[in-house]
Amino acid sequence: MNWLKKKKVLVPTDLSESSYEAIAVAKAYVEDASGLQVIHSLSPLHPADPAAMWDTLTDEERKQKVHSFISEKMNDLGYTGVHIEVTLGDPATQIIEFAEKTGAEMIVMPSQDHKSLSRFLIGSVAERVIRSAHCPVLVLKS
């Protein structure tokens, strides 16, 4: 499988078990875990959110908390050296831009099991990433 080896593989996570399974699949495409990049995109706080109304949690603090959570999860799974990025904004846009900016050679992501007919067989985020990414995208069926 050497001809399939990549230097950088990006795995978007929504913190679900299926996204952690995608990390295990992506690991097979890199020499070691340092070639893995994990990204999670947070939605900006809505003005009506309690954290925004009472100014109890800034976007930067939210990003730091999620980064720490993912970092602990990577350590629990035995993946050291994984690059973790937490962004703010539309998930598909953030994934596409980060993959291009970092030179990811492949994106591995789980599909989300949505029953909506508008999503057809894969989630809307995965569909948008497939259509716009500069590199191959492997979508894993849930």
| Residue-averaged pLDDT of the chain | 86
pTM, two decimal places: 0.85
Segment among 31-35, 36-40, 93-97 with least mean pLDDT: 31-35
Strand partners, 109: 139
Residue 111 sits in a domain whose CATH number is 3.40.50.620
Of the candidates 103, 142, 110, 90, the residue with the CA atom closest to the CA atom of residue 13: 110
Region 18-29 average pLDDT: 93
Query: Which pLDDT does position 28 carry in this prediction?
Result: 93
What share of the chain in percent tops pLDDT 90?
64
- How confident is residue 119, by pLDDT bands cut at 50, 70 and 90? very low
Domain of residue 11: give its range.
2-140
Domain count, the chain: 1
Per-residue pLDDT at 2 exceeds 70: no
